[in-house]
Amino acid sequence: MTEVDHTHAIDLESWFEPANRVKTDFPIQNLPLGMYRIAGSNDAFRACTAIGDHILDLAAVDAVYTENLNELAASGRTTWRQLRSDLSQALSDTSRRSQIERFLTPLDQVELGLPVLSRDFTDFFTSYFHAYNAGKLFRPDDPLTPNFKWMPIAYHGRASSIVLSGTAVRRPWGQIMTPDSSQPTFAPSRFVDFETELGFVIGPGTGFGDTVAIDQAEDHLLGVVLLNDWSARDIQAWEYQPLGPFLAKSFATTISPWIVTMEALAPFRVPAFKRFEGDPPPLPHLRSTANDRSGHVSINVEAHIKPALGSLQRLSRANYSSSYWNPAQLVAHHTSNGCPLNTGDLLGTGTISGPTDGEAGALLELGKMGQTPVVLEDGSTQTSLADGDVLTLRGGCEREGFRSIGFGEAAGAVMPAIPA
């Protein structure tokens, strides 16, 4: 696992003043990875980091990557640590200012791109509270499936519909079976929903037939993005049995442009989820002493909505550390049957929800599958996402004695369905 070092020091400051502002997501202690080009150009995307309200081209430290970050992701932890150290030194050493500042560009003058090329997307189901709350709606007497506490459940999603924050999302068509009908209709979804998630980005891949031990699992994780796995709940309700989600989720998955590295998250490690009394211990391939001690990460995640005719308002706030399964467990279990992972693949956490009503990470939970209108901060109500609504995810980490860092945002507007 990653360790705290000099790059995390709370008193470390940059000669670039915007990085030292209290409210920035991107102080020198963060240094996330992304891709950019000058807005309006047709240039190839180039690798960068975010610092304050600017980007810094990685060419400043002789790290040039174009199109995407897959090559860097595949290079492994030694290279990632060295790059972080080089960037930290370049942005803190005042003697290097004249050399480095020509590589800075204001964020409002650039276009950001997808940080990695993902060949596969696996979406897990890691939050006990989401699993219980959702299960209660459909199976009141037995909310949790018998396997939930034994392994990280997942489904294989579509990498082809992973889109960058800011991309508009079309309301999907699909088969819908209403309670009073004897056959489904093909129509636009009436219940478009969001899911507050994180996506772990695979670094070095694994070979066919290879397995990864839990204590080596994080060597295969470059970092984390915000992830919104858009869902059409009425389509999902009809199609998900017996094989699980399909068209109800494959129409769009929005991610943030910045990969917050596992190195940046080192100060925010916490113990693995404390299981409830009577729960079974994880099987051997999903447990180790090190993982028990600091296998989870404390990341606050928030969902905000801006209705078509309203202002931006917070819907929910939760913390990823409340999820039953943690990052290393996802990698270890995913590879336990020899399934290879590709560099750039995304492992979604599934909806992140906490134990209270305000910590539910989807309208499905917040409004109990549309039965209870969700009351917004301005007094208006919402049961599902309407055309023109903008849904924005935000995230960040904070801990006493360390500088807070942020993830930027993953946002998307719901657009009307394509006319029949």
Calpha distance 335→348 (Å, rounded): 15
Question: What is the structure's pLDDT at 347?
Answer: 98
Question: What is the structure's pLDDT at 366?
Answer: 95
Question: What is the structure's pLDDT at 148?
Answer: 97
User: DSSP per residue over 354-415, as a string?
Assistant: -SSGGG--SHHHHTTTTTSPEEPTTS-EESSBPTT-EEEEEEEE--TTS--EEEEEEEEEEE
Paired strand residues for 174: 187
**Residues 36, 110 contacting (CB under 8 angstroms):** yes
Question: What is the structure's pLDDT at 309?
Answer: 85
Helix (H) or strand (E) holding 238: helix 233-239
Amino acid type, 192: V
Question: Could you say which of 130, 296, 333, 334 is catalytic?
Answer: 130
Eight-state DSSP code of residue 183: S
Calpha distance 82→7 (Å, rounded): 11
* Residues whose CB falls within 8 Å of the CB of residue 100, separated by 6 or more in sequence, listed in order: 56, 60, 90, 91
Question: What is the structure's pLDDT at 2?
Answer: 84
Give the pTM.
Answer: 0.97
The phi and psi torsions of 191 (rounded to 5 degrees) equal: -140, 75
Query: The tokens 């979604």 sit on which residue?
Result: 348
Q: Three-class SS of residue 131? A: helix
Sign of the Cα torsion 17, 22, 24, 25 reads positive
Kindly report the three-state secondary structure assignment for every residue of 265-330: CHHHEECCCCCCCCCCCCCHHHCCHHHHHHCEECCEEEEEEECCCCCCEEEEEEEHHHCCCCHHHH
**Catalytic annotation present for 130:** yes
Question: What is the structure's pLDDT at 370?
Answer: 84
| Residue 161 CA from chain centroid, whole number | 15
Calpha distance 337→174 (Å, rounded): 33
Query: The tokens 């080009």 sit on which residue?
Result: 37
* Residues whose CB falls within 8 Å of the CB of residue 298, separated by 6 or more in sequence, listed in order: 268, 269, 270, 319, 320, 321, 397, 399
The phi and psi torsions of 207 (rounded to 5 degrees) equal: -85, 160
pLDDT along the chain (420 residues), means of 10: 94 98 97 98 98 98 98 98 98 98 98 98 98 91 94 97 98 95 96 98 98 98 98 96 94 98 98 97 98 98 94 96 98 98 98 95 93 91 95 98 98 95
Question: What is the structure's pLDDT at 371?
Answer: 87
